[in-house]
Amino acid sequence: MSIIQPRTLKGFRDYLPVPMAARERVLEVARSVYRSFGFVPIETPVLEYSEILFGKGGEESDRQMYRFEDNGGRDVAMRFDLTVPLARFAAQHVGTLGTPFKRYQVGPVWRGENTQRGRYREFVQFDFDTIGTESLVADVETLVVVHDLFVALDISDFKIHFNNRDLLNGLLERLGLLERGASVLRALDKLPKIGADAVRAELHESSAATSEQADAILALAELRGTNDEVLAALPAIVGESPHAVTGLAAIKTVLEGVRAAGVADSRVRLDVSIARGLTYYTGTVFETFLEDLPSIGSVCSGGRYDDLASLYTKQRLPGIGGSLGVDRLMAAIDELGLIDDRGATADVFIPYFAKDRINDYLSLAERLRKAGLSVELYPEPRKLGAQMKYADRRGHRLAIVVGDREWEAGTAQIKDLASATAQEVAFANLVERCAALLEDGV
């Protein structure tokens, strides 16, 4: 009988225990940060009617969508992000939810594009969004959430690049390029990657921009200096159209807001080259980069989408939020050597080596668990050395060694695996001693 080749699809991956444990720690941190701002959890289906998902993010996202006919003949698709399903969700349930509504949601999304490092066909996003308010307070808080998230993740070198679509539209309006806005923004978005000359060439080619128009766009994009300096130089470039005025005011409010919330100026940068490809963005847009690993791209992006839900409801439902790219972030953390390689989930390890005492071991382990410790009991009476080696590899913190001698005496040996120090304690004091060791061992 021939065996079936065990394999996964291109861009789809298995997660082994060590990296999975690291992922779970990241998810726990993100969840607690979101909750600390009052976001509440929801979940939506992986599959939606195609009409819900198509035509919302632009041509590119339509092309990348996994789409098929289900067994009941329905035209369905797998979600491309969590934002479009949220807009549908909000339109459908706003009556029971009320506004403003702040939710967080984690789950896989699918994009049928070519793979690369940090780019997969199935990947997990951890989103937070605020629906039902146009207040710039939500824009400010969105950036503060991202800031607090990366601080909590202990990632030191991140920078949030933000911009405003209204500001860009204001400039396009002044230049008479609003019609060709999509291709202009696409060219502008490439500035950090391909440089000014290449962007200029692309502007001529794809957007039929004149030299004057290209100059104006590049003048905007090449503004340098502190956030305040860039902000001060902007009005002269973008003009005074309603869009431009709105955008400028929003940027100013956001900058002041995040500063007031205690975000260091060095963490947030006004970067007018940030445009973002998804067509549903309207006001504030942002991307988050790791300074030590810019090539992997943005690990947390988002923005304001004030018109998205209007596709599903007549009620006005503006929104803004962000999306943590969990898989991309994990790839970055891995690359930067920041993964915690402990594979053990239990702090305490109990080797089983007094053969006839298995029921005593079982009872001891459960007693410790009831006292709040996490305990792994080895399932076979192998020789002690092999079991200690297992615990060492897995990264357990303590081993509780109890053999015939200890069972007789009513004592146990607690061994700190990192320092290789051991102490003999009576069963009565076991929990207390373990807790103390785990406490100050960190």
Binding segment for RNA (CB under 7 A), chosen from 52-60, 132-140, 211-219, 429-437, is 52-60
Minimum Å gap between C-beta 320 and RNA is 13
Using an 8 Å Cβ cutoff, are 183 and 214 in contact?
A: no
Minimum Å gap between C-beta 169 and RNA is 16
319 contacts RNA (rule: CB under 7 A): no
Using an 8 Å Cβ cutoff, are 237 and 216 in contact?
A: yes
Tokens 């444990």, located at residue = 21
- Residue closer to RNA by CB (options 309, 402) is 402
200 contacts RNA (rule: CB under 7 A): no
Amino acid of residue 60? E
Number of neighbours of residue 289 by Cβ within 10 angstroms: 23
Copy the structure tokens of residue 120.
């997969």
- Residue closer to RNA by CB (options 2, 266) is 2
Binding segment for RNA (CB under 7 A), chosen from 31-39, 131-139, 151-159, 183-191, is 183-191
147 contacts RNA (rule: CB under 7 A): no
Binding segment for RNA (CB under 7 A), chosen from 22-30, 40-48, 120-128, 243-251, is 120-128
Tokens 């050597």, located at residue = 337
Minimum Å gap between C-beta 365 and RNA is 17
119 contacts RNA (rule: CB under 7 A): yes
User: Among 392, 426, 432, 441, which residue interacts with RNA (rule: CB under 7 A)?
Assistant: 392
Instruction: Say which DSSP state 119 is in.
Output: B
193 contacts RNA (rule: CB under 7 A): yes
Minimum Å gap between C-beta 6 and RNA is 9
Amino acid of residue 107? G
**Omega of the bond leading into 100 within 30 degrees of 0 (cis):** yes
Give phi and psi for 142, each to the nearest 5: -60, -45
Binding segment for RNA (CB under 7 A), chosen from 92-100, 137-145, 358-366, 405-413, is 405-413
Contacts to RNA from residues 3-42, by CB under 7 A: 5, 7, 9-11
Give phi and psi for 169, each to the nearest 5: -65, -35
Contacts to RNA from residues 224-283, by CB under 7 A: 276-278
Copy the structure tokens of residue 30.
């993100």
Contacts to RNA from residues 96-115, by CB under 7 A: 111-115
Minimum Å gap between C-beta 321 and RNA is 11
Minimum Å gap between C-beta 279 and RNA is 8
Using an 8 Å Cβ cutoff, are 268 and 178 in contact?
A: no
195 contacts RNA (rule: CB under 7 A): no
130 contacts RNA (rule: CB under 7 A): no
Instruction: Say which DSSP state 400 is in.
Output: E
List 412's β-bridge partners, or say none: 425
Minimum Å gap between C-beta 100 and RNA is 22
162-165-166-168 Cα dihedral, nearest 10 degrees: 90
Copy the structure tokens of residue 145.
């959430």
Amino acid of residue 242? P
User: Among 35, 67, 74, 117, which residue interacts with RNA (rule: CB under 7 A)?
Assistant: 117
Minimum Å gap between C-beta 149 and RNA is 13
67 contacts RNA (rule: CB under 7 A): no
Using an 8 Å Cβ cutoff, are 425 and 415 in contact?
A: no
Rounded to whole angstroms, the Cα distance separating 296 from 157 reads 14
User: Among 139, 166, 327, 347, which residue interacts with RNA (rule: CB under 7 A)?
Assistant: 327
Contacts to RNA from residues 80-99, by CB under 7 A: 81
Give phi and psi for 396, each to the nearest 5: -65, 155
